[in-house]
Chain A
Amino acid sequence: QSALTQPASVSGSPGQSITISCTGTSGDVANYNLVSWYQQHPGKAPKLMIYEGSKRPSGVSNRFFGSKSGNTASLTISGLQAEDEADYYCCSYAGSSGYVVFGGGTKLTVL
C-alpha cells in the first residue's frame, strides 16, 4: 500500500489560481471515483474540502475544484486568499488491498 504522490509545496499570490496534483495507481485513484481532499491549518484537525473527486461539502467555497484524469487527481484553488494557506492532503479508496491511502501532503503558501 503506497502513499499517493503530492508535491511537497506550492505557492501563489492572492487572487491567483494554483493546482495541487495527487498521483496514484490503477489500484486506487484510477480505479475508483472516491478521491477526497483535506485542508489542515497548523494545530487543527483536517477539514474535508472535496469528496468523490469533485463534490464540495456544504459550506466549502466554490473556489475549490476537484478533478481527475487517469491515475492523477487534482485540487484547484482559484482566487487565492491568505486564509487558504495550509497543508492539503488527498486521499483515495484503494479497494480491499488497503482500503484507504493518503498523499504525503502539500504545503500551500500564499505569497
Chain B
Amino acid sequence: QVQLQESGPGLVKPSQTLSLTCTVSGGSISNVDYYWSWIRQHPGKGLEWIGYIYYSGSTYYNPSLKSRVTISVDTSKNQFSLNLSSVTAADTAVYYCTLIVGASNAFDIWGQGTMVTVSS
C-alpha cells in the first residue's frame, strides 16, 4: 500500500517561495498508472486542487495558481515536490500530497497534511 508523507517548513515569510516535499513509500513514483498531486485546505475552509504531475514530468496546474506553481518529481529519491512562489497570507493552509491511480481522477491516497503559515 502506497503511503505519502509531506515535509517542509511550517512557516514561510511573505513574498518568499513555499517549498514542500512528498516522500512516497510502498510504491514507485515511476509507476505508469500514478498521478501525483497537491491539494490545500485553508483554515476552516474547503479543498483546493493545486496541480498534478505524471512521472514523465507532464504537469497540470490550477489556472488560478499556475503562474506561481511548480510541481516536480525526483525519481531517484521517490519524491515529488511543490514550489509556490510569491506567497502571501492567503497561502496559509494545510497542504496535502495525494495520489491518483489510473484515469479515475480520484484522489485515492492522501498524506497526513502539513500546515504552512505565511507570516513575517
Contact = CB atoms under 8 A, between A and B. Distances in A.
- Tell me if chain B binds chain A: yes
Given A1-B64, A48-B108, A100 B49 contact: yes
A107 B113 CA distance: 20
Contacts of B62: 1, 98-100
A24 B47 CA distance: 16
Interface in B32-75: 46-49, 52, 60-64
**B contact residues, range:** 20 to 34
B105 A57 contact: no
B84 to A, nearest CB: 17
B54 to A, nearest CB: 13
A52 B103 CA distance: 9
Contacts of B63: 1, 97-98
A47 interface: yes
Contacts of B49: 91, 99-102
Interface of B: 46-49, 52, 60-64, 96, 104-108, 110-113
12 contacts: A34-B104, A36-B104, A38-B107, A45-B110, A45-B113, A46-B96, A46-B107, A51-B106, A52-B106, A57-B108, A89-B47, A91-B105
